[in-house]
Amino acid sequence: MPYSAEIIVVGCGNILFADDGFGPEVIKALGDYSKENPLPDNVMLIDAGTGGPHFVFSLPHEEWKKMIVVDVVQFNAEPGTVRKFSVDEIPEGSYENVHSWPVNQPLHDLANVCEVMVIGCKPEHISAPDVEMGLTKSVEDAIPEAIKLILKEIGVS
């Protein structure tokens, strides 16, 4: 089983649309961090990109105890603000991918199988449908805070 771990950290988003690439960039930075600070063996990092959420949310594994989704989330805060959301805190329609596919329901369904949370960052600019590579400074600067929250959730710090 390719996604066999107790704790799954999933970065969602599209690196082609500016801040929408936050999730994949956090997974990349966390992977770099783990080269010198190995993560526990029960943790798996997944850069799910844009097509990954459906696949991951549709195929929960019995071994999963916790899923940490990393993505941009529209909420009332300054761009670059990072916080942890429970599935119940995400209002309907506020958490969608760039194709406006609501992922609230799959997250709620998955919460019946394992603990699910979202480490969300308020985006400054999502360029879709125009291609713009790279995060804005406020969102790029938020990556260390996201990593800090993730490490706390996986019991490393």
- Mean pLDDT score, 108-121: 87
Cross-strand partners of 137: none
Between CA 155 and CA 77 the distance in angstroms is: 27
In the chain the domains, ranked by start, together with CATH numbers, are: 7-154 (3.40.50.1450)
Sign of the alpha-carbon dihedral angle for 72, 77, 78, 81: negative
Identify the weakest region by mean pLDDT among 16-20, 34-38, 40-44, 91-95.
91-95
* Spatial separation of the C-alpha atoms in residues 146 and 137, rounded to whole Å: 15
What mean pLDDT, rounded, does the chain reach? 86
Task: Starting at the earlier edge strand, list the strands of the sheet with 43-49.
Answer: 43-49, 7-12, 66-72, 115-121, 82-86
Q: Is the pLDDT of residue 81 over 60?
A: yes
pLDDT of 130-155, one tens digit each?
999 999 999 999 999 999 999 999 98
Residues ≥6 apart with Cβ < 8 Å to 62: none
Query: In this structure, which long-range contacts are made by residues 106-111, counting pairs with CB atoms below 8 Å and at least 24 apart in sequence?
Result: 106/53, 106/54, 106/57, 106/58, 107/57, 107/69, 109/57, 110/57, 110/60, 110/67, 111/87
Position 45 pLDDT exceeds 90: yes
